């Protein structure tokens, strides 16, 4: 496996971390040691209280037991502060010990949330927003902070598309709002629209904006929800060093029971009597799976004064995949600097530099025919009686069926390496013009470079046929964004409060890409780094595109007596992607909230701490299309004239000057409630969103010379309810907090072009005859599975339904006749006709979950802490192409042990058909499985050293922990894991292809040990 960086670069990382640790070693001159304990007005000890020597940068925080120690002299003043408590000052005299009690500050208990172009108190919020804090994001090691959102926020679905290290995720906020365009949310990182998330350890909080009131200020990019990311900042006080490290051991979450060699021989010789035993008994899953592991290191230095604060962090994440030759590495540096240049001007910069490296193996292949099988697909299909190598040392090929390579060869011989370099910066200047009026300008820049190289050597079937096959390509994305806005706050007579935001935004994005390849090499040793050495050169390709967006936006918040709250948002977006008739679009929203607890009739209802109603409605957009798609376009064309190759261009798409934005109209009604002195907090929301003007490629008459045109036709609906419940169960020495969320979403197609069904296929290309496997139909969820209803196995004496390609013998597959009768006009009546054909296909399931949920419990007792986190999905179904391929019992490949229960004349009480070579592969309800699951996502036990030991070690915090991830999964799905999404990349596939499984990289279970230290 090629390493991402040389050992010298690894050494540089450790030197960098060591220097950060040393930077905390400079100490101020000491006078005397002041110690004590901080408690709350309820008598509980308070860890994490900030203590600062007034007028200096010298400070500390209390430990887990509320104890502190700090150097100060007589006459100095210690300032004790904590969120939600009143700040307290203590003057130092001759005593060396000061125990302090902090009083609750009701005005500060209100949580502050980040929203578009500002912040707001939770009590003033009129929209639907979920918040996830730093401790939840770092509960266990993940390659991507988005992964940590799974099960943490109501209305947010996070799924792995594939289990490979560094693999992509599917994130949906309140369902998919499109059919042919992306439904991915918009990410805003420290104000950078479309920014890249840093390592989870560098994130302070994530807010998820869900309804139109919260997202409309992002206009044409807000339809799919917005994820606001706030990174960590330095705090006033002396330099603080945090070091976090963990190591995880990983293994495959589940295995599929396959036939061993003897079972396979019996199974195969039923239809191929002369099949020759190759003499081995190979468990191909044993050959490809291994013990994986994750190393994670992060060190940060932070601090500041009244004038400047800083946060600098370096991290290293290294995952060794559970499949041979797969892995992922990430190196990152995050830096935030904020400087108060004067009483009116403050400036700052947020920086992120990152390098990633990924060694991949082929999984979820689009076609697994001759030479095309991936590692997992081959492990399930390959003959167990074959060894890894032949007697001459070459790798074995399949002895029957398609000539595919054995999975060990695919995993170890094929090379696939991706290197990514990213730099992201965002500079800001804030100018306080006059009292309550400020202006902020930001300038962001982001560049993301990726290079991918693949090499198929001659030791594999596909490479042997062409003398080796090498390809290398690269892409570069550059973003430049400038945002400028005014904020004005106005209070009138303490009862009328206004907040105004008005601004202008401009963003420009460039994308470039190129690729080239060659075949027929003298040697395999140079991989993809010697294309000129190939005797056969592939046609190179390159591309460029540019997108510009300019916008004006504004927001008005009005509060009357902190009881009645009104919000109006609006954004006017213009995009270069759209046609001249629809370059610009307007996206408004409005919201109202009523703090009912502040009414007189609620004054004496003491068990209710807070009760607020919310309602909102608004429009948001989805740009939906790439650059130049509204224009008439030309494509390359090649021909031969007089024996000479000539290139030309030909028109391939027709312009549509009226093409416009996909627009989502969303209504939300919700309530935020707190009871029993804020010990029980409940948030509930009902929503309905309808996306109209969906983009479809519509066929054109042949006389036009064009095959299709992109048009705005169709609607899709999402509606549902969400609940979030947070409780403080016990306080005192034993603390126990619980959080629970559940999200119920219903997705439905409302309109399609001409109201007609749209059928399409999503199966692997080598499964001949599958044809159309999914459907878009009005009234059904997007991407519903489409096929025949499986009624088991024919028995002797049954009436066999006629039909071309359908079995009519005992032991054959039996399907239901549900349609086929036609009226006088040739239209189907919906009645059976006594025969099987394509008219008997129907909707047989869908991948949309009925509800998703998460349950988290945190316990702490003295120095111990325990976290138990469950997450689950209910009601979603999986169409498994993998099980269809290996359990149809007709192909020339291995099968699962379910084949041992196949129909025979002596084993008729079964729904598994007999072994045959004539059975067609077809999608039916037989291959649709319940994909529901309940998963113990994380269990963690930690211990924090007491202050008596910390003082001797001169550190402020030390926590050791052990944890486990994904160790229990309760599901009825027979595949590796129910969390799969085959053929579900970006754009249309990400919405249409839900709940599909083929040859997926399994998810892993992990066992982790870790350490958190602060100096």
40 vs 226, higher pLDDT: 226
Structural domains present in the chain: 31-108 (2.60.40.1120), 789-840+897-920 (no CATH)
Q: Predicted confidence band at 28 (pLDDT cuts at 50, 70, 90)?
A: very low
Residues 974 and 963: their CA atoms lie apart, in Å, by: 27
pLDDT, position 106: 52
Residues 592-630: tens digit of each pLDDT: 999 999 999 998 899 999 999 999 999 999 877 788 888
Residues 744-797: tens digit of each pLDDT: 999 999 999 989 999 999 999 999 889 999 999 999 999 999 999 999 999 999
Residues 638-692: tens digit of each pLDDT: 888 888 888 888 888 888 888 888 999 999 999 999 999 999 999 999 999 999 9
Which residues is 250 bridged to in the sheet?
A: 292, 1006
- Ranges of H-type helices in 345-414: 375-381, 407-413
pLDDT above 70 (res 29)? no
pLDDT, position 45: 80
Residues 828 and 912 sit within 8 Å (Cβ to Cβ): no
pLDDT, position 892: 85
pLDDT, position 787: 97
Q: pLDDT averaged over the chain?
A: 91
pLDDT, position 759: 95
Q: Predicted confidence band at 834 (pLDDT cuts at 50, 70, 90)?
A: very high
pLDDT above 50 (res 26)? no
pLDDT, position 634: 83
Residues 181 and 693: their CA atoms lie apart, in Å, by: 12
Which residues is 886 bridged to in the sheet?
A: none
Residues 848-883: tens digit of each pLDDT: 999 999 999 999 998 999 999 999 999 999 999 999
pLDDT, position 14: 46
Residues 90-108: tens digit of each pLDDT: 999 988 899 999 887 654 4
pLDDT, position 654: 85
Residues 394 and 717: their CA atoms lie apart, in Å, by: 55
219 φ, ψ (degrees, to nearest 5): 50, -115
pLDDT above 70 (res 11)? no
Residues 513 and 782: their CA atoms lie apart, in Å, by: 32
Q: How far is CA 870 from CA 150, 197, 855, in A?
A: 10, 25, 5
pLDDT, position 5: 40
Task: Read off the tokens for 161.
Answer: 């598309």
pLDDT, position 105: 66
Q: Nearest 5 degrees, angle CA 471-CA 320-CA 893?
A: 65
Closest C-alpha among 380, 378, 400, 460 to residue 278? 400
Q: What is the mean pLDDT of residues 421-442?
A: 96
pLDDT, position 3: 42
pLDDT, position 674: 95
> β-strands 186-189, 226-231: how paired?
parallel
pLDDT above 70 (res 8)? no
Residues 303 and 699: their CA atoms lie apart, in Å, by: 62
pLDDT, position 722: 97
Residues 764 and 741: their CA atoms lie apart, in Å, by: 36
pLDDT, position 237: 81
pLDDT, position 27: 35
Task: Read off the tokens for 326.
Answer: 């797969």
Q: Predicted confidence band at 310 (pLDDT cuts at 50, 70, 90)?
A: very high
Residues 172-213: tens digit of each pLDDT: 999 999 998 889 999 999 999 999 999 999 999 999 999 999
pLDDT above 90 (res 25)? no
pTM of structure: 0.89
412 φ, ψ (degrees, to nearest 5): -95, -25
982 vs 947, higher pLDDT: 982
Residues 731 and 754 sit within 8 Å (Cβ to Cβ): no
pLDDT, position 110: 64
Residues 755-767: tens digit of each pLDDT: 999 999 999 999 9
pLDDT above 60 (res 19)? no
Q: What is the mean pLDDT of residues 472-489?
A: 97
pLDDT, position 40: 83
Residues 876 and 878: their CA atoms lie apart, in Å, by: 7
pLDDT, position 989: 82
Number of H helices, E strands in the chain: 11, 55
């Amino acid at each position: 496996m090629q390493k991402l960086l040389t050992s010298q670069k690894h050494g540089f990382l450790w030197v960098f971390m060591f220097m950060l640790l040393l930077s905390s070693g400079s100490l101020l001159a000491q006078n005397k040691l002041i110690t004590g304990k901080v408690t709350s007005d309820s008598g509980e000890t308070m860890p994490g209280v900030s203590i600062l020597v007034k007028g200096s940068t010298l400070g500390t925080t209390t430990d887990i037991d509320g104890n502190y120690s700090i150097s100060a002299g007589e006459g100095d003043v210690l300032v004790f502060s904590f969120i939600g408590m009143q700040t307290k000052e203590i003057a130092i005299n001759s005593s060396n010990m000061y125990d302090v009690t902090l009083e609750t500050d009701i005005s500060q208990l209100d949580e502050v949330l980040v929203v578009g172009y500002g912040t707001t108190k939770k009590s003033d919020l009129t929209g639907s927003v979920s918040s996830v804090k730093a401790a939840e994001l770092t509960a266990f090691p993940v390659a991507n902070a988005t992964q940590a959102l799974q099960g943490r926020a109501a209305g947010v679905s996070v799924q792995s598309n594939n289990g490979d290290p560094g693999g992509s995720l599917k994130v949906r906020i309140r369902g998919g709002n499109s059919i042919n365009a992306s439904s991915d949310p918009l990410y805003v990182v420290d104000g950078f629209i479309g920014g890249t998330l840093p390592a989870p350890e560098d994130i302070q909080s994530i807010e998820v904006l869900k309804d139109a009131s919260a997202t409309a200020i992002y206009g044409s990019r807000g339809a799919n929800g917005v994820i606001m990311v706030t990174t960590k900042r330095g705090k006033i006080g002396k330099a603080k060093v945090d070091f976090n490290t963990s190591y995880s051991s990983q293994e495959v979450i589940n295995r599929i029971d396959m036939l061993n060699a003897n079972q396979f021989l019996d199974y195969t010789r039923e239809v191929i009597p002369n099949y020759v035993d190759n003499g081995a008994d190979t468990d191909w899953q044993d050959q490809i799976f291994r013990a994986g592991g994750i190393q994670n290191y992060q060190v940060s230095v932070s601090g500041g004064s009244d004038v400047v604060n800083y946060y600098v962090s370096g991290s290293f994440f290294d995952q060794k995949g559970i499949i041979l030759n797969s892995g992922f590495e990430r190196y990152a540096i995050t830096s935030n600097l904020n400087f108060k240049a004067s009483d009116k001007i403050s400036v700052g910069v947020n920086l992120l530099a990152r390098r990633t490296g990924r060694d991949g193996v082929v999984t979820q292949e689009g076609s697994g025919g001759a030479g095309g099988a991936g590692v997992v697909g081959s492990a399930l299909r390959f003959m167990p009686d074959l060894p890894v190598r032949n007697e001459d040392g070459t790798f074995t090929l399949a002895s029957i069926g398609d000539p595919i390579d054995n999975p060990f060869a695919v995993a170890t011989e094929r090379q696939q390496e991706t290197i990514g370099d990213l730099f992201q910066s965002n500079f800001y200047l804030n100018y306080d013009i006059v009292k309550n009026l400020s202006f902020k300008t930001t300038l962001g820049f982001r560049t993301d470079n990726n290079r991918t190289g693949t090499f198929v050597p001659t030791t594999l079937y596909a490479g042997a046929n062409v003398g080796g096959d090498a390809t290398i390509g690269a892409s570069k994305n550059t973003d430049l964004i400038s945002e400028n806005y005014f904020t004005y706050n106005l209070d009138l007579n303490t009862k009328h409060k206004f907040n105004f935001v008005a601004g202008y935004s401009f963003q420009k994005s460039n994308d470039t890409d190129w690729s080239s390849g060659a075949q027929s090499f003298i040697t395999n040793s140079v991989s993809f780094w010697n294309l000129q050495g190939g005797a056969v050169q592939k046609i190179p390709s390159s591309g460029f595109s540019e997108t510009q967006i300019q916008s004006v936006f504004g927001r008005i918040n009005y509060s009357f007596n902190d009881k009645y709250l009104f919000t109006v948002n609006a954004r006017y977006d213009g995009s270069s992607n759209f046609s001249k008739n629809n370059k610009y679009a307007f996206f408004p929203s409005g919201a109202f909230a009523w703090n009912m607890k502040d009414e007189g009739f609620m004054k004496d209802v003491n068990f209710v701490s807070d009760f607020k109603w919310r309602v909102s409605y608004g429009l948001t957009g989805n740009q939906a299309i790439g650059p130049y798609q509204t224009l008439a376009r030309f494509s390359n064309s090649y021909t031969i004239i007089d024996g000479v190759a000539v290139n030309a261009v030909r028109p391939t798409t027709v312009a549509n000057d009226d093409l416009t934005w996909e627009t989502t109209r969303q209504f939300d009604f919700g309530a935020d409630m707190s009871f029993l002195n804020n010990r029980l907090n409940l948030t509930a929301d009902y929503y309905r969103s309808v996306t109209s003007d969906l983009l479809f490629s519509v066929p054109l008459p042949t006389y036009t010379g064009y095959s299709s045109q992109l048009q705005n036709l169709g609607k899709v609906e999402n509606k549902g309810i969400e609940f979030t419940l947070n409780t403080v169960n016990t306080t005192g020495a034993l603390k126990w907090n619980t959080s629970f969320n559940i999200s119920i979403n219903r997705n439905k197609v409302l309109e399609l072009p001409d109201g007609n069904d749209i059928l399409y296929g999503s199966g692997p290309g080598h499964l001949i005859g599958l044809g159309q496997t999914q459907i878009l139909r009005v009234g059904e969820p997007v991407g519903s599975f489409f096929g025949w209803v499986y009624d088991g196995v024919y028995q002797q004496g049954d009436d066999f339904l006629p039909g071309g390609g359908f079995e009519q013998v005992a032991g054959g597959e039996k399907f239901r006749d549900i349609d086929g009768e036609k009226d006088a006009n040739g239209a189907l009546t919906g009645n059976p006709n006594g025969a099987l054909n394509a008219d008997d296909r129907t909707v047989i399931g869908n991948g949309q979950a009925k509800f998703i949920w998460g349950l988290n419990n945190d316990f702490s007792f003295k120095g111990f802490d325990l976290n138990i986190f469950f997450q689950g999905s209910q009601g979603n179904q999986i169409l498994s192409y993998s099980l269809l391929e290996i359990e149809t019992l007709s192909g020339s490949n291995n099968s699962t042990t379910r084949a041992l229960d196949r129909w025979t004349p002596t084993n008729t009480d079964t729904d598994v058909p007999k072994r045959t070579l004539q059975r067609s592969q077809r999608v039916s309800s037989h291959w649709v499985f319940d994909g529901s699951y309940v998963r113990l996502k994380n269990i963690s036990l930690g211990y924090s050293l007491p202050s008596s030991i910390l003082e001797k070690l001169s550190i402020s915090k030390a926590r050791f922990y052990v944890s486990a991830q994904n160790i229990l999964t309760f599901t009825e799905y027979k595949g590796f894991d129910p969390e799969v999404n085959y053929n579900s990349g970006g754009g249309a596939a990400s919405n249409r292809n839900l709940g599909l499984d083929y040859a997926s990289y399994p998810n892993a279970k992990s066992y982790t040990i870790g350490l958190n230290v602060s100096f």
